[in-house]
Amino acid sequence: MEIYDYIVVGAGSSGCVVASRLSEDPAVRVLLVEAGPDMNTFWVRTPAGGGKLFMDRRFNWAFDTEPVPTLGGRTVYWPRGKGLGGSSSINGMIYMRGQPGDFDHWAALGNPGWSWAEVLPYFVRSETNQRGANDYHGAQGPLHVSDAAITHPTADDFIAAAQQIGIRRSEDLNGPPHEGVAYRQYTIRNGRRHTSYNAFIEPVRHRGNLTVRTGVRVTRVALESGEATGIEVLERGERRMIAATREVILSGGALASPHLLMLSGIGDAAELRRHGIAATVESPGVGRNLQDHWFGSFAWRVTPGSSYNHRLRGLRKYLEGARYLLTRGGYLAIGAAPVTAYARSEPGRPEADLQLTVSPMTFKFDASGEPVVDDFPAIGGSMVLLTPDSRGHMALKSSDPLQAPAFHPNYLSDAGDIRRSIAGLRMMRRIAEAAPLASRIIHELVPGAPATTDEQLLAHLRTNGNSGWHQVGTCRMGVDERAVVDPRLRVHGVGRLRVVDASIMPRIVAGNTNAACIMIGEKGADMIRADAAPPRAVSI
C-alpha cells in the first residue's frame, strides 16, 4: 500500500496551494491526486482560449443542473475544470478577491480567523502583482497578477459613462474603497494563463516529498474509528487504497468535495441510506447552502471601431494568432471583459452587490460548441448579482461514484434577488445611455429595447440569464449543527479530515471566486501545519 503523510484530493485552485505549502516541509510526504489530465496545451495557456475550453470534455466536467423550476424548467450548463489547475485552467482569469465585508461576515457567523484583516495577509502572500507591493498587494508570491494586455476606447468610455451616473473611478478594485469602476487585473503571466498549478505546483514538482498523480478518480474517503485513514481510488480500471498517516484534505471544489463526503458515509443519514450507503457521520448540511452568481446579459450593435470583432474573424484572426505567437501580446493575450463597475443596487445596501461589465467583442457558440465571433461590430455586457439570497442544494443520484450528483441551484427563488437584479439591469442601461459610451451604440440587441417592464426584464433573466460558474458553500464552515466543517476546516465528527476549497464559504464572495479559493488554500495549509497531529501507525 502507498503511504503518505498528507493526501490532497483535487489539483484545482485550492488544492495546488495546499499541496505546495505542505510539501515545503521536507519531513512530510504529500500526495496530490487529480482525476483529470495535464492541461499544458496551447488553448489552455492562451488567455483568449477560454471559449474553446468551455465545452471541451477533455478538460471540463461539463455538468448540467436538474431542471430549475424558477427558470421555467431550464437546465443550466456548469463547466468545471478537469485537470491540473482545475477551474483556474478554464476560467476568465479575473483576479477579484471580493469585498472586505464578505470576510467580516464569515467571522461574525462564528468563524474566528476569517475576518478581512486576518485573510488579507494570505492574499498578499500568494501574489506577485505587476503594480508592485503595497499594503494590499504582494510582489514575491507564486501567483502572477497583471493588468490587461490591451486597453480599448470603448472600455475607456464605459468607465467614463459609469462615472457620469455616479459610480466613482477606482484605481484598484482589490483595495480601498473596494467599490467603483476600473480595468480588471488577471492571473496572466507574460501573456500566458497562470493557473494555480502553474503558480504553486509546476515550479516545485521536482520535490522528492511531493507526488502528483493525474487520471486518478477518488471514490471515497476511508474511515476507521472516527478518523480518515486514506482514500479509495480508481486508476486504470483498478480499485485500490492509499493511506494517509496525518490527514486527508478534500479540495475538489464545491461540487466534488460534498459528493465525496456523501459517498464516504458523511451526510444526511436518511438520504445516504436511500442509496445504500451506510451513514457513518450524520451531517445534514453536506450539499446544502449551494450558492452561485446569476447574470443577465447585454449586447449592443455599435459603430465601426467600437468593437474588435473584425480583428478575430477571417484573415485577421490568423494575423492575430501570428501576433500572439511572436509577441505574446494582442487580442489573444487578454482575459474576460476588461472593465467592470462595482455598485449598489439600492442606496441602503451595506456594500456593492452588483458587478457590471462590458467587453468590446461578442461571440456565440455553434452547434459543435466552438465559439464564433459575430460578423458585425458589437459589444457585450453583463449584470451579476454578487450577494444572492437564493440557496440551492445538491444530492446523490446513485451510490456509483462515477455518476454526477443532482444539482438544484434554485436561482432567483428569493424575491429580493429578483428586485436587485432588475435594478442592476436598469443601471446597466443607464451607463449605456450616458456619454461618452452612448455615442458608440447604434441599438440594443439583448435584451432589446422593447423589454422595459419589470416583468419583461425578469423574463430575460429567466430565459437568457446564466450562471457565473462560481458555485460555493456546500460544505459550509461554522459551529452550528448544519455546518460541515469547523473554522479550522476540520470536518465535524471526523478526525484527520478537512475540506479546503470554495465549498467552505458560508456566503459567496461579492466578486469572482478564484482569488478567494487560493486564499482559502493558503490559510488552510497554515492551519494544517499548525494543528499537525502525530502520524498514526499504518499496517501494511
Known binding residues: 218, 469-470
Which of 152, 178, 259, 470 is labelled catalytic? 470
Q: Running DSSP on this structure, what letter comes out for residue 70?
A: G
- Residue 223 pairs with which residues in a beta bridge? 228
Of 2, 131, 5, 1, nearest to 528 (Cα)? 5
Instruction: Report CA-CA distances (Å) from 321 to 104, 285, 326, 330, 400.
Output: 45, 48, 9, 9, 44
The annotation places the binding site for FAD at 218, 469-470
What is the C-alpha to C-alpha distance for residues 433 and 438, in angstroms, rounded to an integer? 5
Nearest in space to 348 (alpha carbons), one of 297, 416, 414, 415: 416
Instruction: Please state, as a whole number, how many other Cβ atoms lie within 10 Å of the Cβ of residue 534.
Output: 7
Q: Kindly state the cell numbers that stand for 310.
A: 473584425
Q: What is the rounded end-to-end Cα distance, in angstroms, of the chain?
A: 6
C-alpha cell at 441: 451604440
- List Cα–Cα distances, 444 to 298, 349, 456, in angstroms: 8, 29, 15
Q: Which of 302, 430, 297 is nearest to 360 (CA)?
A: 302
Helices 116-126, 514-530: inter-axial angle, 10-degree rounding: 100
Residue entry with cell 461576515? 105
Q: How many helices (H) and strands (E) does the chain have?
A: 13, 27
CB under 8 Å to 469, separation ≥6 — which residues?
78, 79, 80, 87, 91, 292
Q: How many other CB atoms sit within 10 Å of the CB of residue 25?
A: 14
Closest by Cα among 424, 387, 531 to 165: 424
What grid cell was written down for 300?
449592443
DSSP state of 534: P
**Residue 142 is which amino acid?**
P
Is 310 in contact with 172 (CB distance < 8 Å)? no
Cβ burial of 375 (10 Å; 0-12, 13-18, 19+) is: exposed
Sequence-distant (6+) residues with CB within 8 A of 8 are: 15, 18, 19, 22, 30, 31, 32, 33, 249, 251
Query: What does the block give as the cell for 42?
Result: 496551447
- Within 13 Å of residue 313, how many CA atoms lie on the same side as its CB? 14
Q: Using alpha carbons only, what angle is made at residue 341 by residues 461 and 163, rounded to the nearest 5 degrees?
A: 120
Spell out the alpha helix ranges (H) of 264-341.
Answer: 269-274, 314-327
Alpha helices in 9-149 (DSSP H): 15-22, 42-45, 50-53, 100-108, 116-126
**Known active-site residue 492:** no
- Would you please indicate which residues are annotated as catalytic (active-site) residues? 470
